[in-house]
Amino acid sequence: MSTRRPSLRGRLLAFLALPMLALLLLNAVITYRIALAYSNHLHDRNLLDDAQSFARMLQTMPRSDQLSPQARFLLEYDPDGHSYFNVESLHHGSVVSNTDFTAIPGARHCLASSPALYSTHLNHQKVRLATVCIANVGEPGDQLVVTVGETYADRRQRAQEILLITIPMMTLLMLCVGALVWLGVNHGLRILQPLTRRLAERNHGLAPISSPDVPREILPLIETIDGLFGRLAEMIALQDRFIADAAHQLRSPLAGISLHVDRALNAGDAATRNDALEHVRRLNQRTARVSGQLLALTRAQTSPTVVEPLALDVLVPEWVAARVPEAIRAGVDLGYQPPAGPARVQGYAPALQEALDNLIDNALRYAGRGATVTVGLSTAADARVELYVEDDGPGVPDAAMPRLGERFYRVAGATASGTGLGLAIAREAVEHIQGSLHYQAALPRGLKVSILLPRLPADPP
């Protein structure tokens, strides 16, 4: 069952199309509001003109309870019957009206000198009224309140007509903008094609793929891919080097084992056969040690960089105590020199223990029986912690000092068996946690190997 992969083009278009649709709806609402306000303004002006025209017509007409045909035509122009009028005398009450205006007192609007426009409810619907007050020519001291009104139906209809006119234009505009967005997104995504083509044409090699034509927006992604390529290239190189080292170091022991096996099979006496089997046993031990050292070196090079605060004044004594039985068997006096105060560093405990174990192993192996090996901790003046292994063995010639820590390098004339990987493993493990390894001749004789790590402030008491 195949899953549908998300589309960058689809997401961009959806991200742009949905806001555009929302803007279209918002524009329609705003357009309707503006059209309704404009329609209200025009109708209010016409309504006020009608009220004033009606008032002037009444002043020229003789006193009567009936309207002239001209006045009635002026007022009842609405074919839907949504127009209302009322003439009220302040002294005599309603003079003429086409509906019940008793609930709407018009006298209060005569207190103002100018005509009044206001909204109210009449016959259970909202209406807009214009009121004009004039003097009653037939009765001095009396005033006539002339009120003309209309419903809001026509106003809303005019606003809807304006909206219906603008909607097709707005829709056409949005479609044109959508087409331009579609073309723009497709054209913008074409910039990824050269990068895709370079990746497709690459059969081998893990060189960086970034180039000046990479857009700024996807540069972090390309840099992440380049970093991944770099780490992958390092892992492949490390694997190739491990295979080459294993082939180089295991070829001689395996050839020796094969030789002595043939010798044991062809031996005519038990002494020769036992001697050959003893050689096979030693070569097998050497092969196992070489394999273990190679794996330790690879582990030191690829161990995760997970650092945490470490209290070396607590951990190192435990690590040294675990090697005491081995030192006793080797006839070496293994001791520990504690620091003057807390020794806290930022590091990775397994990597640091791996480095210390290899330094102790080197000291026990090369210092010789009767030697003294001291593991110590001290805090340097430059805010660093020094973890050192010092012995009083034969030491290392000055000419060989620069080569210490090289893979498979052994000092000329060394009699103890070894693989030449111990210091290399220690160096890789220490550098993996941002530390450094240093060598110096011990006084009066021997070798001192130091691990320097940044010191952390001590915890408050």
Q: Write down the domain spans for the chain.
A: 8-160, 216-298, 306-456
Using DSSP's 3-state secondary structure scheme, residue 447 falls into strand
CATH 1.10.287.130 is right for the domain spanning 216-298: yes
Average pLDDT estimate for 243-248? 62
pLDDT digits (tens, 9 = 90+) for 182-204: 887 777 777 777 777 777 766 66
Q: Is the pLDDT of residue 333 over 80?
A: yes
pLDDT digits (tens, 9 = 90+) for 262-287: 878 887 788 877 887 887 787 776 66
pLDDT digits (tens, 9 = 90+) for 46-88: 888 888 888 887 777 655 555 556 656 655 555 444 578 888 8
Can you give the pLDDT at residue 299? 61
Distances in whole angstroms, Cα of residue 194 to Cα of each of 5, 91, 148, 188: 22, 93, 75, 12
Burial class (CB in 10 A: 0-12, 13-18, 19+), 65: exposed
Contact 177, 20 (CB under 8 A): yes
Task: Please provide the average confidence, as pLDDT, over all residues in the chain.
Answer: 76
Q: Taking the complete model, does pTM exceed 0.85, yes or no?
A: no
The matching CATH number, chosen from 3.40.190.10, 3.40.50.620, 3.30.565.10, 3.40.640.10, for 306-456 is: 3.30.565.10
Can you give the pLDDT at residue 243? 64
Q: How far apart, in whole angstroms, are the C-alpha atoms of residue 39 and residue 161?
A: 11
What angle separates helix 8-60 from helix 153-189, to the nearest 10 degrees? 160
pLDDT digits (tens, 9 = 90+) for 133-172: 888 776 777 788 888 888 888 888 888 888 888 888 888 8
Task: Please state which architecture CATH assigns to domain 8-160.
Answer: 2-Layer Sandwich (3.30)
Q: How far apart, in whole angstroms, are the C-alpha atoms of residue 432 and residue 430?
A: 5
Burial class (CB in 10 A: 0-12, 13-18, 19+), 397: exposed
- Quick one: which of 414, 422, 442 has its CA closest to 361? 422
Q: Look at the block and give the residue holding tokens 């054209």.
A: 187
pLDDT digits (tens, 9 = 90+) for 424-459: 767 776 776 677 778 787 777 788 888 888 887 765
DSSP lists the bridge partners of residue 150 as 83, 128
Q: How far apart, in whole angstroms, are the C-alpha atoms of residue 209 and residue 202?
A: 10
Q: Is the pLDDT of residue 460 over 50?
A: no
Better-predicted residue by pLDDT, 250 or 144: 144
Percent pLDDT > 70 in the chain is 72
Q: How far apart, in whole angstroms, are the C-alpha atoms of residue 185 and residue 118?
A: 54
Can you give the pLDDT at residue 79? 47
Better-predicted residue by pLDDT, 373 or 431: 373
Q: How far apart, in whole angstroms, are the C-alpha atoms of residue 99 and residue 123?
A: 8
Can you give the pLDDT at residue 461? 41
- List strand residue ranges (DSSP E) for 90-244, in order: 93-97, 116-122, 125-135, 143-151
Confidence of residue 342 (pLDDT cuts 50, 70, 90): confident
Contact 439, 396 (CB under 8 A): yes
Q: Is the pLDDT of residue 290 over 50?
A: yes
What angle separates helix 219-266 from helix 270-302, to the nearest 10 degrees? 170
